[in-house]
C-alpha cells in the first residue's frame, strides 16, 4: 500500500484563495485585518516561520506588523511591545512566536496578550474556552490537522486517535478538539511517561506524531491503512527530520509528511483566525 498524501501546501493554497475573497469583502466594509508578530532572538526556524507568516499575509491581503526583538530582551521590554500591540487599532490580531529564549516567561507574556487579539488561541482564557466548548480563537496547528483530515475525508467520528506529544501548542489542545461532539474521536494522548508507545500507536486509526523525536514512529508500529500525520520537526546537519520514519508511507492509508503536510496548514489556520476575528467586528 502507498499512502495518499495529505497535501498541506495545496490545501493551504486553496484556503488562501478563499481568504483573499473574504479580505476583499471586509475591505468593502472598511475593515482591514492586521496581523502582528513578536519574535525574540535569533532562532533560524522561528525567523523562517515568521517570514512565512508575513509572506502569507501579503498573498491574502492582510496588513502585517512585525516586531523583532534582540535575544537579550527583558520581560519588561517584551511586555511593553505586547501593550503597544494591544493598544494599536491597526493590529487586529497578533502572536508571540514560540519558543521564547529561556530567560523569558512565555506564560506571563501570553497572558498579557489581549484575548480578543490572540490569533494563536494560546491565551489562557481562550484555552479555557476550548476546554468549556465556548467560541474563541483555536490553536493553529491542531486546527490545521483537523481541517486537513476533513478535506481528505479521513473518517474522524468514532476513530481511535493516538496523539504523541503533550505540548501546549499541539498535543493537549488537539486532544480537546478531537473529542468535541463535532469530531467525536476517541483520543489517547501519549508522552514520555507512556509505558508501551508501540501498542498505543498500533491500535490507532489516526496517529499524530508531535514529539520532536526523529523517526519515532516506525512502519512496524502503524496499523495498515491508518492515517499518519507528522508534526515533528528536528533540525539536523542533514536537514529537517520528522517524527515519522519514511517507511511508514508504505503501510499507512494517508500520510501528512514533513515537510509539506501539517506545517503549511498552521499558517493557513493563523490567517483564518485573523480573518474570522475581523469578520466578527
Ligand atoms: N506562536 C507560535 N509559535 C509556534 C507555533 C505556533 O503555531 N504559534 N508553531 C510552531 C512553528 N510554526 C509556526 O509558528 C510553524 C512550523 C512549521 C511550519 C512549516 O510550514 N513547516 C514546513 C517545514 C519546515 C520548513 O520548511 O522550515 C513543513 O512542514 O512543510 C510552519 C509554521 C512552533 N512555534
Asked if the model's pLDDT at residue 32 lies above 90, the reply is: yes
Does one domain contain both 256 and 179?
yes
Q: What is the dihedral of CA 10, 7, 212, 73, to 10 degrees?
A: 10
Atom of ligand 1 nearest to the CA of 97: 1
User: Which residues contact residue 213 at a Cβ distance below 8 angstroms, ignoring those fewer than 6 apart?
Assistant: 232, 234, 243
- 19, part of any domain: no
What pLDDT, on the 0 to 100 scale, is given for residue 218? 98
- 126, part of any domain: no
Nearest C-alpha neighbor of 200 from the set 170, 241, 165, 150: 165
Asked if the model's pLDDT at residue 73 lies above 90, the reply is: yes
Asked if the model's pLDDT at residue 147 lies above 90, the reply is: yes
Residue located nearest, by CA, to atom 34 of ligand 1 = 98
Average pLDDT over residues 83-106: 98
End-to-end CA distance of the chain: 48
Asked whether the beta carbons of 238 and 215 are under 8 A apart, the reply is no
Asked if the model's pLDDT at residue 50 lies above 90, the reply is: yes
Average pLDDT over residues 62-71: 98
d(CA 134, CA 69): 34
- Is 233 among the annotated ligand-binding positions? yes
Does one domain contain both 87 and 188?
no
Asked if the model's pLDDT at residue 1 lies above 90, the reply is: no
Does one domain contain both 71 and 150?
no
Nearest C-alpha neighbor of 214 from the set 239, 195, 192, 232: 232
Does one domain contain both 180 and 236?
yes
This prediction has a pTM of: 0.97
In this structure, which long-range contacts are made by residues 109-115, counting pairs with CB atoms below 8 Å and at least 24 apart in sequence? 109/75, 109/78, 109/79, 109/82, 112/79, 112/82, 112/83, 112/86, 113/82, 113/85, 113/86, 114/86
Does one domain contain both 144 and 255?
yes
What pLDDT, on the 0 to 100 scale, is given for residue 179? 97
Q: What percent of the chain has pLDDT over 90?
A: 99
Asked whether the beta carbons of 64 and 58 are under 8 A apart, the reply is yes
CATH at residue 106: 3.40.50.10860
Q: In the chain, how many domains are there?
A: 2
Give residue 40's domain range.
Answer: 27-115
SS3 at position 38: strand
User: Which residues contact residue 261 at a Cβ distance below 8 angstroms, ignoring those fewer than 6 apart?
Assistant: 5, 6, 7, 8, 148, 229, 230, 255
Q: Which of 7, 120, 205, 243 is catalytic?
A: 120
CATH at residue 180: 3.40.50.720
What pLDDT, on the 0 to 100 scale, is given for residue 22? 98
- Cβ 267 under 6 angstroms from ligand 1: yes
- 244, part of any domain: yes
Does one domain contain both 70 and 155?
no
Average pLDDT over residues 18-28: 98
Average pLDDT over residues 130-156: 97
- Is 280 among the annotated ligand-binding positions? no
Average pLDDT over residues 124-145: 97
- Looking at every residue in the chain, the average pLDDT score rounds to 97
Query: Is the ipTM of this structure higher than 0.90?
Result: yes
Nearest C-alpha neighbor of 77 from the set 65, 69, 86: 69
Average pLDDT over residues 233-241: 95
pLDDT grade for 25, boundaries at 50, 70 and 90: very high
Asked whether the beta carbons of 219 and 228 are under 8 A apart, the reply is no
Nearest C-alpha neighbor of 108 from the set 67, 74, 153: 74
d(CA 90, CA 174): 31
Does one domain contain both 106 and 166?
no
pLDDT grade for 281, boundaries at 50, 70 and 90: confident
Asked whether the beta carbons of 42 and 267 are under 8 A apart, the reply is no
Residue located nearest, by CA, to atom 12 of ligand 1 = 49
Q: Which of 7, 43, 53, 205 is catalytic?
A: 53
Average pLDDT over residues 165-181: 97
**β pairing state of 63-69 and 34-40:** parallel
Amino acid at each position: 500500500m502507498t499512502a495518499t498524501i495529505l497535501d498541506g501546501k495545496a490545501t493551504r493554497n486553496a484556503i488562501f484563495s478563499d481568504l483573499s475573497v473574504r479580505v476583499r469583502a471586509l475591505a468593502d466594509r472598511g475593515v482591514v485585518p492586521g496581523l502582528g508578530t513578536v519574535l525574540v532572538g535569533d532562532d533560524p526556524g522561528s525567523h523562517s516561520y515568521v517570514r512565512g507568516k508575513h509572506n502569507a499575509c501579503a498573498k491574502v491581503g492582510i496588513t502585517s506588523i512585525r516586531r523583532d526583538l534582540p535575544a537579550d530582551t527583558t520581560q519588561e521590554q517584551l511586555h511593553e511591545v505586547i501593550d503597544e500591540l494591544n493598544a494599536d487599532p491597526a493590529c487586529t490580531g497578533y502572536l508571540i512566536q514560540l519558543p521564547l529564549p529561556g530567560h523569558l516567561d512565555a506564560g506571563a507574556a501570553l497572558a498579557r496578550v489581549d484575548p480578543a487579539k490572540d490569533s494563536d488561541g494560546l491565551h489562557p482564557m481562550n484555552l479555557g474556552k476550548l476546554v468549556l466548548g465556548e467560541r474563541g480563537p483555536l490553536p493553529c496547528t491542531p486546527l490545521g490537522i483537523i481541517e486537513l483530515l476533513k478535506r481528505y475525508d479521513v473518517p474522524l467520528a468514532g476513530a481511535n486517535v493516538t496523539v504523541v506529544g503533550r505540548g501546549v501548542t499541539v498535543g493537549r489542545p488537539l486532544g480537546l478538539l478531537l473529542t468535541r461532539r463535532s469530531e467525536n474521536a476517541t483520543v489517547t494522548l501519549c508522552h514520555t511517561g507512556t509505558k508501551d508507545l508501540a501498542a498505543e500507536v498500533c491500535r490507532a486509526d489516526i496517529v499524530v506524531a508531535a514529539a520532536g523525536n526523529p523517526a519515532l514512529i516506525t512502519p512496524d508500529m502503524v496499523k495498515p491503512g491508518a492515517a499518519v500525520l507528522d508534526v515533528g520537526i528536528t533540525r539536523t546537519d542533514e536537514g529537517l527530520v520528522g517524527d515519522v520514519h519514511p517507511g511508514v508511507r508504505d503501510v499507512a492509508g494517508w500520510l501528512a509528511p514533513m515537510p509539506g503536510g501539517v506545517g503549511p496548514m498552521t499558517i493557513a489556520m493563523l490567517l483564518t483566525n485573523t480573518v474570522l476575528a475581523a469578520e466578527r467586528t
